[in-house]
């Protein structure tokens, strides 16, 4: 499997099983899908569907029990712990529901921190300006609104200049309007910067804004849809 543009991310019969021989919990059950380079993809499904497990496996925070996981032409399912650490550090940007900012560092320092651990970081000030926070560089997290904190966490992920931006319920802790702003920023990173953005959500109303929608239920992929004309986030109601 070469890292073609269309198969930039390619999962083939990936399973994740927890527990013992006697008591097995199948979190992900032989799933397969592709995501193209630069796509804005949404993985949607109810709680317990396995979508966060997929995100963790894609991000190198968890390993698959079986199957192949190709990212940019490399099968990360075969990586050892050291290779996975390098992969997480250099290739992946994470955005979580609850920001995970360092409280005693300013917005700028939080973003600078990410840049110190990877190979080709972007300029922290520039990235913060891109997410609309040029006037908040010296503020601490406690001085920022929830939406502003989430923008800092997006800037922190982007500062690593990652191959892939993985977002777990990124609007889950935000109000409606702020959530739409954050989604707009994430979509712009795909459209204007060519970043491959994957959002995991339980909210099926977000599906129309994606280039690709992967629907999960009971640890399986139920469908993969391509939106030829994704909806403008400004007109989205969810």
Rounded to two decimals, the pTM is: 0.91
Q: Could you give the residue ranges of the DSSP H alpha helices within 116-233?
A: 124-130, 146-159, 176-193
- For the residues 44-65, what does the mean pLDDT come to? 96
Instruction: State the average pLDDT for the chain.
Output: 92
In tens, the pLDDT along 24-51 reads 999 999 999 999 999 999 999 999 999 9
Quick check: 141 and 101 in contact, CB under 8 A? yes
User: What interhelical angle do 146-159 and 107-115 show, nearest 10?
Assistant: 20
What's the confidence (pLDDT) of residue 204? 94
Q: Which residue has the higher pLDDT, 100 or 109?
A: 109
How many whole angstroms from its chain centre is CA 141? 22
What's the confidence (pLDDT) of residue 173? 82
How would you class 86 by CB atoms within 10 Å of its CB: exposed for 0-12, middle for 13-18, buried for 19 or more? middle
- For the residues 60-73, what does the mean pLDDT come to? 96
Residue 231's CB is within 10 A of a number of other CB atoms, namely 14
Q: Which residue has the higher pLDDT, 238 or 102?
A: 102
- Angle 107-169-223 from CA coordinates, rounded to 5°: 145
Residue entry with tokens 């320092």: 109
Q: 138 vs 18, 110, 125, 126, 163, CA distance in Å?
A: 44, 10, 11, 14, 28
What is the rounded CA–CA span in Å between residue 134 and residue 202? 32
Provide the pairing of β-strand 196-201 with 66-71.
unpaired
Angular region, 57: left φ>0, alpha ψ -120 to 50, beta rest = alpha
User: What contacts 19, CB < 8 A, 6 or more positions away?
Assistant: 25
In tens, the pLDDT along 136-154 reads 999 999 999 999 999 999 9
What's the confidence (pLDDT) of residue 4? 56
What is the rounded CA–CA span in Å between residue 25 and residue 19? 6
58 backbone dihedrals φ, ψ, rounded to 5°: -60, -35
What's the confidence (pLDDT) of residue 179? 87
Judged by DSSP in three states, 237 sits in coil
Q: Domains of the chain (ranges plus CATH)? A: 37-63+86-233 (3.40.50.300)
In tens, the pLDDT along 161-219 reads 888 999 999 888 888 888 898 899 899 889 888 889 999 999 999 999 999 999 999 99
Query: Per-residue pLDDT for 6 more than 80?
Result: no
In tens, the pLDDT along 101-135 reads 999 999 999 999 988 888 888 899 999 998 889 99
What's the confidence (pLDDT) of residue 98? 83
């Amino acid at each position: 499997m070469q890292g073609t543009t269309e198969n930039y991310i390619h999962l083939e019969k990936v399973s994740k099983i927890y527990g013992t021989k006697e008591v097995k919990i199948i979190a992900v059950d032989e799933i397969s899908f592709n995501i193209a380079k630069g796509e804005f993809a949404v993985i949607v499904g109810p709680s317990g569907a396995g979508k966060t497990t997929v995100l963790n496996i894609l991000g190198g925070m968890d390993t698959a029990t079986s199957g192949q996981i190709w990212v940019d032409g490399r099968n990360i399912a075969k990586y050892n712990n050291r290779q996975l650490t390098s992969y997480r550090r250099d290739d992946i940007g994470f955005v979580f529901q609850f920001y995970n900012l360092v409280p005693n560092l300013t917005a700028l320092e939080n973003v600078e921190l990410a840049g110190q651990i990877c190979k080709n970081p972007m300029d922290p000030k520039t990235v913060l300006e891109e997410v609309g926070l040029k006037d908040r560089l010296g503020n601490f997290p406690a001085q920022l609104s929830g939406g502003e904190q989430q923008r800092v966490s997006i800037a922190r992920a982007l500062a690593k200049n990652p191959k892939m931006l993985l977002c777990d319920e990124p609007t889950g802790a935000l109000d409606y309007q702020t959530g739409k702003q954050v989604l707009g920023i994430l979509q712009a990173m795909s459209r204007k910067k060519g970043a491959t953005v994957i959002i995991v959500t339980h909210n099926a109303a977000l599906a129309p804004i994606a280039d690709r929608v992967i629907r999960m239920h009971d640890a399986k992929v139920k469908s993969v849809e391509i939106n030829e004309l994704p909806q403008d986030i400004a007109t989205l109601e969810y």
